[in-house]
Chain A
Amino acid sequence: MVAAVEVTNVSKSFGDVEVLVNASLVVEAGTTLGLIGPSGAGKSTLLRCINHLETIDSGIIKVHGKLVGYRREGDRLFELGHGEIARRRADIGMVFQLFNLFPHMTAIENVMAGPVYVRGMDKGEARAVAMEHLRTVALENRADFYPSELSGGQQQRVGIARALAMDPKVMLLDEPTSSLDPELVGEVLDTMTELSGRGITMLVVTHEIGFARSSCDAVAIMVDGGIIEHGPPGEVLVNPKEERSRAFLRRVIA
């Protein structure tokens, strides 16, 4: 198995607050990992560190064997230049809790933005590719709608299509259903399940235990800035080793 994402002993503080404490995690290529845990455990921060939207204080984060925001000289890491970081980020897709679609662009323009501006693809070709991805998320008939004209679930599916359009090696999904109305959660989870079935590598921070159980190949539990549990959903969610894991699962499953 190839590690798509390899997080090794990563620590990070915001001022005096330690958010990540020696966190380590591996996501195998072609699998979906569900990252769960109580609020404030550092799940979103870990995700943002993986594509270097946040810097880290120590540790190693590799995506397909390559450091993202740093270059290593012995036991020291030096931050790369902005241009190089941008190039490395292009292979890592991200989906946000609040969608973060570009409001001044239509759905299809949002999906085209990456291929056109980052990959330098010609607009006609990018439009065709974007349409294909909108079809994947079942929104080809909303291509020319602005985000403000779409429902939350539709916006999030455009967000997923936008990330897919870069043909990423890894997709990071940061609580993709947390700001949706309950009746819209299903359509987004269905899309994610389909992507998971296609063998797209995904790291999903989620509160949907049902999704983690049925659609993830592995589940990890994060508490107080560290990963305390990692394994197949059948083990982690049913027979967790740590008491802190059991306490968390009792609260969310009860």
Chain B
Amino acid sequence: MSTAEARDAGPPVVTEPRRYGRWASAAGVLLLFYLIARPIYLNPLIDHSVIGEYLFHPVILGGVWVTLTIATSAMVLATVLGVTLGLMATSSNPVLTVINRAYIAFFRAVPLLVQILIWGNLSLLFRRIALSIPFTSITLFDLDTNDVMTTFVAGALGLGLHQAAYISEIVRAGLTSVDRGQRDAALSMGMQRRQVTFRVVLPQAMRVIVPPAGNEFISLLKASSLVFVIAGGDLLTKAQNIAATNLRVIELLTVASIWYLGMVAIATAGQRLIERRFSRGYRRDRTSTSRIRMTVRKVLAW
């Protein structure tokens, strides 16, 4: 029996419809992209060789390193502080919830750029930073503010403290999204409150927390370019410094943009991995990316 006969004999088979509209819109988007990219690429005022020359220039690479370390330090600070503040928000202790509200009220209200400038200029307010035990003459440390508050520290603090306010709201939303019954079940088997939070509630909250938190961290990565205003030595600062001497402003901004694009792409991939880790036990639908990949594969095969 041939396959054609078998198909004739069997029940009707569902076939994917041909979606002409999608193909037409995809072609339209590609055409639009071409129309925009062409005049930029062919513009005689851009010297492409400068982009290639500086893309892996040691000074630029140094800037990339500073950007990555500032952003990472700020993320660590924002995560630790944000989770702590988020847990405080859901606490039954009114003192803790008030601290949470006050922190968010302040650090979310003052613009990030202003906060970075404040930390960068802290020495105007405090000449020295010292810690001594009250009512005694014992001093644990006493340092010149400018030695402590380097542009790196100022940048990481400004970014991290600001970001923590947003992360804490995301954590709070995640914690409240977990059903109360989960807490009851964990408590009823005799878990200590710390275990209830870290073994049961937080792992489930992570599923809700990770997508928006990843979003925040990606914007933090880019917002790290604001440390330019305190001469932070990051990617943008370095690119601008070079541009100031060779006047190739657009070329060096392009170099910086390419690096930001690359860093964000890697961060996005990392975010996807973490999301998958925390969606254990929940059914996943076919994601849009896999559908795009399948279509591309189909087109290539054809």
Contact = CB atoms under 8 A, between A and B. Distances in A.
Contact of A166 (B189, B193, B203, B280): B189
A156 interface: no
Contacts of B278: 104
Interface of A: 48, 51, 53, 82-83, 86-94, 96, 98, 100-106, 113-114, 117-118, 146-148, 162-163, 166, 172
Given A96-B185, A146-B281, A102 B200 contact: yes
Nearest to B180: A100
Nearest to A90: B190
A113 B187 CA distance: 12
- Among B182, B184, B190, B191: residue with most chain A CB under 10 A: B190
| Chain B binding surface, main DSSP class | helix
B188 interface: yes
30 contacts: A53-B187, A53-B188, A82-B192, A88-B190, A89-B187, A89-B189, A89-B190, A91-B190, A92-B188, A93-B188, A96-B181, A96-B184, A96-B185, A98-B181, A100-B179, A100-B181, A100-B184, A102-B182, A102-B186, A102-B200, A103-B204, A104-B203, A104-B280, A104-B281, A105-B281, A117-B191, A117-B199, A118-B190, A146-B281, A162-B185
Q: How large is the interface on B (under 10, 10 to 19, 20 to 34, 35 or more residues)?
A: 20 to 34
Contacts of A100: 179, 181-182, 184-185
Interface of B: 179, 181-182, 184-193, 195, 199-200, 203-204, 207, 278, 280-283
Contacts, number: 82
Given A103-B204, A104-B280, A113-B199, A53 B190 contact: no
A162 B200 CA distance: 14
A53 B281 contact: no
A53 B204 contact: no
A164 to B, nearest CB: 11
Contacts of A105: 281
Contact of B188 (A82, A94, A104, A117): A94
A83 B182 CA distance: 19
Contact of B190 (A48, A102, A104, A166): A166
Closest 7 CB pairs of A and B: A90-B190, A100-B185, A94-B188, A146-B281, A100-B181, A114-B189, A118-B190
B282 A103 contact: yes
